[in-house]
Structure 1
């Protein structure tokens, strides 16, 4: 079964509406609190999903950049071997020694370009991983916020059943704390 915050918010709002028909002012206040907490929980839950997706997407892009860098470093190593072989051949003398020396220099120039490209890919990987970690941090804070809001909804239900103000006030406190933590996700 999937977790759908929007559907849950709608269901809680319906339950709150049903309870409000009892014409008890306390039940009406608690019902309104349930509806508000449900909307906040759905909103925070949606933001949580967006942040989790952002973290995953950026981490995937980072992996692709690492793959590119690895490929380029492999080519760099192959060219290094070629350069050494041409250098050895040039040192051996013979009619093609000058050509081998020239090819060894070309390999050196090509290696410099490859090194630069691999380092750029690695820098991009690091940038993407850093951005992914930011999204992941937001996600963790939003998870905590959504959890507090959902516990607040549960306490409202207990308040309706027991008709105890303490449970309702606790749910309001958890709702305020959940909203604060949700906001902190983007401020810290």
Structure 2
């Protein structure tokens, strides 16, 4: 068996020493980094879930649109039959009452088909709208995740430079990420509902 090796980055090394050296500053940054990584992972998961939901809803919209299209094609076929029945009534020597009844039946059938097609189109639009909402929420989760990742990077730089202002900047970016996460969790906060 070949033995592998692991190269520790400066952040890994600093976190490891913080855990063993009793350095309170580094310890706080290490704990903050772990918390931010956990929050970022949660945000990433929720972002992926909303993206999947958006794709499924978009698929449902496409299915309903296809079903509506099929209904409109059926409607057109009934219109053609109605037109042919109405034309047949003008031909000499035909049973006018039969074609008149056929034309009336096709007209009546078309109304039911039209209602079904319009319902399917409305369902398609509703699924599209829901998909857009999910994608909007996904983008909020993605921004929240990105902010948490930037805060983690700033925490790593803070450990290396030991600059307090960098620590506060990491806290600030983390807070922005949490705020974005709240907006993603409660999308109605910005929508005014």
Give the superposition deviation at 1:14: 10
Match of 2:8 in 1: none
**Is there any run of 5+ residues in structure 1 with no aligned partner, and where?**
1-11
Runs ≥4 residues deviating over 6 A = 12-15
Aligned in 2, Cα 1:102/1:167: closer, same or farther, shift over 3 Å? same
Counterpart secondary structure, 1:94: coil
Q: 1:125 to 1:154 in 2, by over 3 A?
A: same
Q: Number of aligned pairs?
A: 177
Please give the residue correspondences for 1:112-127 in structure 2 after superposition, counting only pairs within 5 Å. 112-127=111-126
The answer to whether the 8 Å contact 1:16/1:31 transfers is yes
What is the CA-CA distance between 1:167 and the residue it aligns to? Answer: 1.6
Alignment root-mean-square deviation, CA: 1.8
TM-score (norm 2): 0.86
CA deviation after TM superposition for structure 1 residue 110, in Å:
0.8
CA shift digits 1:17-36 (9 cap, x unpaired): 55322321110010011011
Structure 2 counterpart of 1:144: 143
Q: Deviations over 1:134-181 (max 9, x none)?
A: 111111111111000000001111111111122221111111110101
Matched, 1:62 2:67: no
Maintained 8 Å contact 1:48/1:139:
yes
TM-score norm. by structure 1 comes to: 0.88
* Distance in 2 separating the partners of 1:14 and 1:176: 26
